[in-house]
């Protein structure tokens, strides 16, 4: 495996600050939820290997793209996972600021 996968993330990161990952059975997207009406979408290799688009959506249909994380080719999976987790934490901070 060159790059982290959704399955790898779900197996190795059960929760971040009360947000839990799950793989949507219909779309295959990796979603993060804390039980609120807002979700983080951050699916590894969604369009291209090594690319992870980070997006926020809510039940009203509002959608915000936070950008795309480009993983370094041939970097260790542990390093890729750490970078991914940092980006999820940043996404949570953005959501928290919007809710205040």
Quickly state the pLDDT bin for 100 (edges 50, 70, 90): very low
Per-residue pLDDT, 99: 62
DSSP the chain: --S--HHHHHHH---BTTBEEEE-TTT--EEEE-SSSEEEEE-TTSSSTTEEEEEEEETT--EEEEEEEEPPTT--HHHHHHHHHHHHHHHHHHHHHHH-
The mean pLDDT value of the chain amounts to 94
Number of structural domains found in the chain? 1
Kindly state the percentage of the chain with pLDDT values over 70: 98
Across the range 84-99, mean pLDDT stands at 91
Please count the CA atoms within 13 angstroms of the CA of 88 that sit on its side-chain side: 28
Domain range for residue 34? 6-99
Each residue's pLDDT tens digit, 4-42: 999 999 999 999 999 999 999 999 999 999 999 999 999
């Amino acid at each position: 495996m060159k790059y982290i996968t959704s399955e790898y993330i779900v197996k190795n990161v059960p929760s971040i600050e009360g947000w839990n990952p799950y793989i949507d059975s219909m779309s295959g997207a990796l979603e993060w939820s804390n039980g609120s009406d807002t979700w983080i979408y951050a699916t590894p290799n969604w369009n291209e290997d090594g690319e992870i688009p980070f997006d926020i959506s809510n039940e009203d249909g509002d959608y915000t793209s936070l950008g795309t994380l480009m993983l370094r080719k041939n970097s260790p999976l542990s390093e890729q996972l750490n970078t991914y987790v940092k980006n999820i934490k940043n996404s949570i901070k953005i959501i928290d600021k919007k809710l205040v």
